Structure 1
Amino acid sequence: MFSPSAAVAAPEYSTAEAGNPFVDGWYADPDVAVYDDTFWVYPTASRPYAQQTYLDAFSSTDLVHWTKHSNVLRTADVSWAEYAVWAPAPVERNGKYYLYFAANDIQNDSQLGGIGVAVADRPEGPYKDALGKPLISQFHNGAQPIDQDVFIDDDGQAYMYYGGWHHSNVVKLNPDMTSLGTFEDGSTYKEITPENFTEGSYMFKRNGTYYFMWSEGGWTGPDYSVSYAMADSPTGPFRKIDKVLAQDPAVAKGSGHNSVVNVPGTDIWYIVYHRRPLAESDGNHRQLAYDRLHFNADGTIRRVAMQVKDNFADDNALGWKTYGGTWTAADGRYRVGRDRGAKALLDTNFADFTYDADVTVTAGGGDAGLTFRVSGPSVGPDSYSGYYAGISPGGKVVLGRANGSWTQLASARASVTPHKAHRLRVTAVGSSIKVFVDDMTTPRISVTDATYRSGATGLRVFDTGASFDNVTVAPAG
């Protein structure tokens, strides 16, 4: 089991503080397992159906640095699977590692496909088909055999929750983990469909309470979201309590098909899910993210706020898009050499917010800092519409707006030491814009300007080099 030592504390974060997405590439439907001292994430390869012929996995001991394990399962190793390999569900039992998966996206009982099970001797595989056929190959209670999750209760009984087409079932797994058991009434498939169920079943247990989660809405739409129910039994009944995760038009859309991971030995929980960047319209352009999951005193789950942070501790800049300059993430910082207007932007769309970053300027006659409410960026000193606040090696803080040309709104003296990190903050609420340097109580600049109301957040340099760290953007208030 995971047992953090005194030297390595349990990973306790407010979100993926080294940035979401936390791994590179288009992936969806993540499920999580903790094997020994390592977290494992198994997602769907988010590609067109015909190209969904493999599964990758990612492992981490700290939820920050991730190692990719390619092709842990391939359709070449499953005689009946051809494409649409979806939603892997990992579990370990008796020294064997099992991976349940859906394949072929069957539309009726005459087609070959459904839910299969593969087995391996190691978490990273390679996994091989355990049965030579699907474990569940037909529709029962109207549930398409997809989107499975496996849960082992405290008494050792294993259950599988699955379903699509707005119906969800639970089945028992026998101790061999490759055959189905029966319930006390002799049935094999129990329907547990809660209100507004679409797909993406997931089960976990906390303090003796069973939590059933599922996805609602259309997977290609902005309405994709996660809801949950609580019960005293692993088979329900499950009545919807609340929607716990939904799109945020400032951060990402289509957030859903989740799993949950508990850091063993703690009450630290995370929701792991996929979402689509705001600028992406391709349904398959989904990325993996996680945020902290919090519980109220009565055991209900607080709604999840997708946070925007990046401390670059993973030494990458996933999610950032650059315009000019040479940007490098290393040693926990995001650096760019001296350039006349290089920008790096996040795909966000904030209106009223507080935006913080540690900014270190090197040398030169210019400045470095934060861009916000940005649209239409391209390479060039002022090739964007939006605002910019920066500090200079010469000891000045400046605020202005750009739209192909530069309009300075205000400037002030500030104690700036080259090669030393300074905390730069911008708060923007409506037309009120304030800029703080190190002292977060008294603004160095305070102006009123209503030219731009919302847009992307980012970083910029002008005629200086700089490094950036501890980027945080949050809605105002």
Structure 2
Amino acid sequence: MKHRFLPLALLCGLSLATAASADNPQLQGADPHAVMIGDELWIFPTGGPGGSWAADRFGAFSSRDLKTWKPRGELIRRDQIKWIGDDGAPEHFLWAPGVATKGGKWYLYFSVGPQNPTPSRIGVAVADQPQGPYRDSGRPLVTGGKGFEAIDPHVFTDARSGISYLYAGGSSGATLRVWEMGADMISLKREVKVAQPRMFTEGAFMHERRGTYYLSYSHGRFNADDYSVHYSTASSPTGPWRYRGRILGSDARHKGPGHHSFVKTPAGEDLIVYHRWENPAGPPPFSGERQVAIDRVSYARDGRILPIVMTDGAAAPTLKVAR
């Protein structure tokens, strides 16, 4: 997501934060990548609870019930990314993390911006466990430019082929690009040319269900009420895409829901984890803190994702025990 540089203080106590007894919204933060690890749901966000938005580090949070969240400490800091200043830009920010695991290692993909005066970049760091510490790979994985903004990385491993794909891009130019990852997960093997999905702005996410590949993404401006989640489907992870519509948008109380991830719980329930603005005062552009929320996902018999209803308080889903 672009233009996140709001006038907020940095989050200094990320590793010490607590977020107990939460319902929707679950915790403060944005751009949440959610992953089930054992019986816990982990969220890797931009920022997080315990203070204002953090532009210089990443943390993670986990829960066994989607009510009490455990901080998992600091993953990596901006000053541990040695190449970050190589472009000569006066300032740099970190946002939109995504994780993947392969071969017993964990990989953290992240955006480094802003886009101007130098192109944005995507980095990757490696750890032995999901909470890190993560070690930077030593160089950017992707650099923007020529109408492409290198932001919002998401890595999906196709269970059928074993191939891992990187999806990235958006905002300026609203361009999605896809690469096949190298076996080491910190390099690119080749770019896969894809058609631009209808209504795509940023925040791509891929998941597969019953042989159908679902490419979902955000549309609109991140701090306005047109921000929303749309999706397309395909018979492969790289298209061709069939646009299927909007599934998550603003309502009377919640504005600009988006930059989401889908997750399936051990009990087989489908959830969407996303950020939203809680009843913001005045017209866009909204300011303040975005909040992470979790809601249920349902599919029609023909595989369509049904419109998602945003909930508040105890109406939010909880983790059910698998049987």
Q: Same fold (TM over 0.5)?
A: yes
The separation in 2 between residues aligned to 1:206 and 1:276, in whole angstroms, is 29
Shift of 1:295: 0.3
Task: Identify the structure with bigger relative contact order (alpha carbons < 8 Å, sequence gap 6+).
Answer: 2
- Structure 1 190/311 Cα, relative in aligned 2: closer, same or farther at 3 Å? closer
The answer (yes or no) to whether the contact 1:258–1:273 under 8 Å persists in 2 is: yes
- Structure 1 268/107 Cα, relative in aligned 2: closer, same or farther at 3 Å? same
The separation in 2 between residues aligned to 1:106 and 1:209, in whole angstroms, is 34
The answer (yes or no) to whether the contact 1:113–1:134 under 8 Å persists in 2 is: no
Identify the residue that residue 30 of structure 1 maps to in structure 2.
32
The answer (yes or no) to whether the contact 1:218–1:224 under 8 Å persists in 2 is: yes
Identify the residue that residue 308 of structure 1 maps to in structure 2.
312
The separation in 1 between residues aligned to 2:317 and 2:68, in whole angstroms, is 8
Give the counterpart letter for 1:228 in structure 2. Y
The answer (yes or no) to whether the contact 1:30–1:43 under 8 Å persists in 2 is: yes
Query: Which of 161, 185, 200 is residue 197 of structure 1 equivalent to?
Result: 200
Give the counterpart letter for 1:230 in structure 2. T
Between Structure 1 and Structure 2, which shows a larger proportion of strand residues? 1
The separation in 1 between residues aligned to 2:279 and 2:124, in whole angstroms, is 35
Identify the residue that residue 395 of structure 1 maps to in structure 2.
none
Deviates more, 1:39-48 or 1:294-303: 39-48
**Map of 1:61-460 to 2, 5 A cutoff?**
61-81=64-84, 83-107=92-116, 111=118, 113-130=120-137, 132-139=138-145, 142-154=147-159, 155-164=161-170, 165=172, 166-182=174-190, 188-249=191-252, 251-264=253-266, 266-280=267-281, 282-310=286-314
The answer (yes or no) to whether the contact 1:18–1:312 under 8 Å persists in 2 is: no
Give the counterpart letter for 1:146 in structure 2. I
The separation in 1 between residues aligned to 2:203 and 2:288, in whole angstroms, is 16
Shift of 1:66: 1.2
Q: Deviations over 1:365-419 (max 9, x none)?
A: xxxxxxxxxxxxxxxxxxxxxxxxxxxxxxxxxxxxxxxxxxxxxxxxxxxxxxx
The separation in 2 between residues aligned to 1:311 and 1:220, in whole angstroms, is 25
The separation in 2 between residues aligned to 1:170 and 1:311, in whole angstroms, is 37
The separation in 1 between residues aligned to 2:268 and 2:104, in whole angstroms, is 26
Shift of 1:267: 3.4
The separation in 1 between residues aligned to 2:166 and 2:41, in whole angstroms, is 21
Shift of 1:280: 4.6
- Structure 1 309/69 Cα, relative in aligned 2: closer, same or farther at 3 Å? same
The answer (yes or no) to whether the contact 2:122–2:153 under 8 Å persists in 1 is: yes
The answer (yes or no) to whether the contact 1:18–1:311 under 8 Å persists in 2 is: no
The answer (yes or no) to whether the contact 2:294–2:316 under 8 Å persists in 1 is: no
* Shift >4 Å, 4+ stretches: 46-49, 311-314
Shift of 1:143: 2.8
Query: Which of 35, 38, 41 is residue 39 of structure 1 equivalent to?
Result: 41
Larger radius of gyration: 1
Give the counterpart letter for 2:76 in structure 1. L
The answer (yes or no) to whether the contact 1:158–1:172 under 8 Å persists in 2 is: yes
Shift of 1:215: 0.4
CA RMSD of aligned residues (A): 2.4
- Structure 1 310/87 Cα, relative in aligned 2: closer, same or farther at 3 Å? same
The separation in 2 between residues aligned to 1:200 and 1:223, in whole angstroms, is 15
Q: Deviations over 1:48-70 (max 9, x none)?
A: 99x51111211122333210123
The answer (yes or no) to whether the contact 1:31–1:41 under 8 Å persists in 2 is: yes
The answer (yes or no) to whether the contact 1:80–1:113 under 8 Å persists in 2 is: no
The TM-score with structure 1 as length reference comes to: 0.56
The answer (yes or no) to whether the contact 2:192–2:238 under 8 Å persists in 1 is: no
Give the counterpart letter for 1:45 in structure 2. G
The answer (yes or no) to whether the contact 2:295–2:317 under 8 Å persists in 1 is: no
Which ranges of structure 2 fall in alignment gaps of 5 or more residues?
1-20, 85-90, 319-323
- Structure 1 112/200 Cα, relative in aligned 2: closer, same or farther at 3 Å? closer
SS in 2 for 1:76: helix
Q: Deviations over 1:91-140 (max 9, x none)?
A: 111111111001122247xx26400001111111111211x121001336
Identify the residue that residue 87 of structure 2 maps to in structure 1.
none
- Structure 1 254/238 Cα, relative in aligned 2: closer, same or farther at 3 Å? same
- Structure 1 244/313 Cα, relative in aligned 2: closer, same or farther at 3 Å? closer
The answer (yes or no) to whether the contact 1:201–1:215 under 8 Å persists in 2 is: yes
The answer (yes or no) to whether the contact 1:95–1:121 under 8 Å persists in 2 is: yes
The separation in 1 between residues aligned to 2:152 and 2:202, in whole angstroms, is 7
Q: Deviations over 1:453-474 (max 9, x none)?
A: xxxxxxxxxxxxxxxxxxxxxx
The separation in 2 between residues aligned to 1:208 and 1:107, in whole angstroms, is 40
The TM-score with structure 2 as length reference comes to: 0.81
SS in 1 for 2:79: helix
- Structure 1 146/292 Cα, relative in aligned 2: closer, same or farther at 3 Å? same
The separation in 2 between residues aligned to 1:280 and 1:45, in whole angstroms, is 22
SS in 2 for 1:230: strand
How many residues are treated as equivalent by the alignment?
284
The answer (yes or no) to whether the contact 2:120–2:151 under 8 Å persists in 1 is: no
Give the counterpart letter for 1:137 in structure 2. T
Give the counterpart letter for 1:152 in structure 2. T
Which ranges of structure 1 fall in alignment gaps of 5 or more residues?
1-16, 183-187, 315-477
The separation in 1 between residues aligned to 2:157 and 2:31, in whole angstroms, is 20
Give the counterpart letter for 2:99 in structure 1. P
